[in-house]
Amino acid sequence: MVRKYDDFHKSVMVEEVLSYLITKKDGIYVDCTAGEGGHIKAILEFTDKMARIIGVDVDYEVLEIAEQRLKDLSDNVVLIKSSYKDIDMVLRGLGIDKVDGFLMDLGVSTFQLKGENRGFSFTKDEPLDMRMDNQAKKDAAYIVNNYSQEELRRIIFEYGEEKRFAHSISKSIVRNRPINTTQELVNAIRKGLPSTQVYERHRHFATKTFQALRIEVNEELKNIEETLAKFENFLKVGARVAVITFHSLEDRIVKNFFKNNEKYDFLTPKPILPTQEEIKNNPRSRSAKLRVAEYVGA
């Protein structure tokens, strides 16, 4: 595939991930959200290419980028298009019983935001898609045009954490149907907000609603919990799970999963945050939180 833009996704909290995740240089590590392969590349370099890495991503376009980026670096990387919720099938398919660590870096990759016709970005005008898996049946256009106002309100309220205006935005979406492009959705959101909110918000006024729809389209919250529960079947004692989240709902799921879980030593009851310097160099990292747990056995 021909690259459509030059700058790779900037991986978040790389140093912190390496220092917590890698317990053995020649271990087996699973990157459940391989994306453009940034963390995988860092793990290879950190382990002097001794690590064996399985990279999984549901988006075949980003996996192609990872493949190009990593192909000359090591023969020890296997990239597989799959949802992380099927990680058990992926590992069994490869004949792998136990691993030394799992990494999840949740959220969207730069390619998905900047790539053509993905529909994730409110700064572009393109079909309202937002599917990370292009084989998934439900896209964002389906949701905005078919869900009831109450369902839309709940999603925007819960997943977008758009507490005050979820009702008025959902009403405006229903009133402005059909909505088939990102800019049609931006306009419907604008009409559902008082003008002070449109012009004075710290972040773009459509951010929260777009986030909510992305989570719904990709069933992100449901998949995280299901996947965390599968890891223990594959972890060696002393192996680690590292998860980077980008909003409080995801972080809460991860925290609650590891808190009071006797099979894990929860190494970060207080999450690790990016440094000020990282936030300056990569503003997308500002809402990232890293949680890590060590498997202590059943």
Which residues define the annotated binding site for S-adenosyl-L-methionine? 37-39, 57, 84, 105, 112
Options 16, 36, 278, 294; binder of ligand SAM; rule CB under 6 A: 36
DSSP-derived pairing of the beta strands 99-105 and 235-245: parallel
Options 170, 182, 211, 218; binder of ligand SAM; rule CB under 6 A: 218
Angstrom CA distances, 30 to 34, 155, 291, stand at: 9, 31, 16
128 binds ligand SAM (CB under 6 A): no
SS3 for 2?
A: coil
In the complex, what is the shortest distance from the CB of residue 224 to ligand SAM, in angstroms, rounded to a whole number? 8
Options 13, 39, 278, 288; binder of ligand SAM; rule CB under 6 A: 39
37 binds ligand SAM (CB under 6 A): yes
Options 13, 58, 91, 221; binder of ligand SAM; rule CB under 6 A: 58
CB-based burial label for 155 (10 Å; 0-12, 13-18, 19+): buried
Options 47, 74, 209, 223; binder of ligand SAM; rule CB under 6 A: 223
In the complex, what is the shortest distance from the CB of residue 270 to ligand SAM, in angstroms, rounded to a whole number? 22
62 binds ligand SAM (CB under 6 A): yes
**Do 272 and 132 meet the contact criterion of CB atoms below 8 Å apart?**
no
- Enter the DSSP assignment of 272: B
**Do 56 and 30 meet the contact criterion of CB atoms below 8 Å apart?**
yes
Closest to 166 measured CA to CA, from 145, 185, 146, 150: 150
Query: Dihedral angle at the C-alpha atoms of 94, 98, 100, 101, nearest 10 degrees?
Result: 70
Transcribe 95-136 into DSSP letters. T---EEEEEEE-S--HHHHHSTT----TTS--B----SSTT-
In the complex, what is the shortest distance from the CB of residue 234 to ligand SAM, in angstroms, rounded to a whole number? 16
Instruction: Select the span of 37-45, 155-163, 172-180, 235-243 touching ligand SAM (CB under 6 A).
Output: 37-45
Transcribe 60-72 into DSSP letters. HHHHHHHHHHHTT
35 binds ligand SAM (CB under 6 A): yes
Options 20, 22, 57, 100; binder of ligand SAM; rule CB under 6 A: 57
Q: What is the Cα–Cα distance from 69 to 229, expressed in whole angstroms?
A: 31
Q: Which two tokens stand for residue 41?
A: 């590349």
In the complex, what is the shortest distance from the CB of residue 246 to ligand SAM, in angstroms, rounded to a whole number? 8
Name residues contacting ligand SAM, limited to 98-117 (CB under 6 A).
Answer: 105, 107, 109
84 binds ligand SAM (CB under 6 A): yes
* Beta carbon nearer to ligand SAM, 70 or 174: 70
Which chain residues interact with ligand SAM by CB under 6 A? 9, 11, 32-33, 35-39, 56-59, 62, 83-85, 105, 107, 109, 132, 218, 223
